[in-house]
Structure 1
């Protein structure tokens, strides 16, 4: 299955190419150490999520309408993908969705429905709304979505083959799994906030388990359980699981602004926080800055 999914990353790259940006790779030296920054927060919709959403909608028969559930970024991606393809979209969100992300979902043309207090409440409501001609687009627990997210890593490898580790923030695990597939054997460094760490606990337990979600980055990384499909991929590839403190996340976000004038949401600063604190291995590491959909001021 893994070999097939790796091939699907290549297919996804060709499929979504007309609609997504090939985001820049910034080579820098920080604190005397070399670092590559993948500026995926400059992607259309402000995050990597457009890649997986487009691949999901382009890979099979075209539905008449799509529904999804999201804490924010995935909903923006699905809403935009649907608009690009001329499809109606409904996005179910938890009551805790940040106002800025809710606004961007509606601005992309989707109908926004608030449903419950957690992502899983919203997901249950979205699945009930799916049916004939109405496709439910998973946020991360779908091999087609994961293949789309893996195109981020494929671009890194193509643009900087010397990169030997790729650090990425983890929510449900879709992007990290995509990095493992698209990274051509490079070490995936999966970074999570200390109290929002479903992958870390799943790897320790040997299976996905329910975990707490308490973090400044929770709107993007707030899955309480890693998806079974991402877990299967990540538990069978070279992966280093790391945790970072809340203060380090905010310090990393501010450092990206002060030093590079890169304005990202807290979730995107999570892997950079791990790098700043010396946890990310590799002689030529790359950090993915995955999103910029917070209403943020320095």
Structure 2
């Protein structure tokens, strides 16, 4: 899987310029070895940051033909497994009644006031939720002398478990609805992009990557504080999926989504990480293709992971959400 979208004003601060090269390079290298045996498919999956193309591909059954899906993501150090945060994108639209500011009276219903009060209320309840909740005012009116009849908030709600996400979404939505009702404003809640699940890790698949990284002399770091959000997580619930991280030397203290990391991706260290990533990913794919027993272990782990997730759904009473 290739990603290649950049961030506004930052550039490739998440290293997607290298993801595309690593995936395409690994496929090209593997093709020379397989000599027409087996099938390699390289998918371009742009705009992971916003529209989440992989989720759209899943809806269309694009990945159903695969045994495994593979990718490596640039990072501050190399790791085969990383914790993930699911993302629920939610938009709250407020509909009031417009009027001139000089003539504001009981007939006016200020949609922006409802949005502002909702924003403040959400900030108050965040402390009681095991969730990462951040939002913006997407639309707050046109001119100061016009009472807005429309306003819009957009939020990302991130959690490390699906049941926590559903709980947070319910609490936040009830909070906003209460504000809207108290101010006489109509409120509409929708998804403004696709939701991402948490990632279903696959131990045997990660072990194959680890073996290839070891052969290349690439040190692997295990740090439970490392967490990402990605639409590849949705793919991991359809087929066994690898989302390893390849470190760029000198970036150990850098954060993703920064100009500094974007610059590092096109530095000599970024080029070295790309070469290592291509070799590791190609080697991983070859080992899976070459050994039926390895592929069977990967499939068994995948089925076991799905069953464990099903039990959690039954225990906590949630279901996989999707964008409207």
Scaled by the length of structure 1, the TM-score of the pair is 0.24
Query: In terms of Rg, which structure is larger?
Result: 2
Higher relative contact order (CA 8 A, sep 6+): 2
Scaled by the length of structure 2, the TM-score of the pair is 0.23
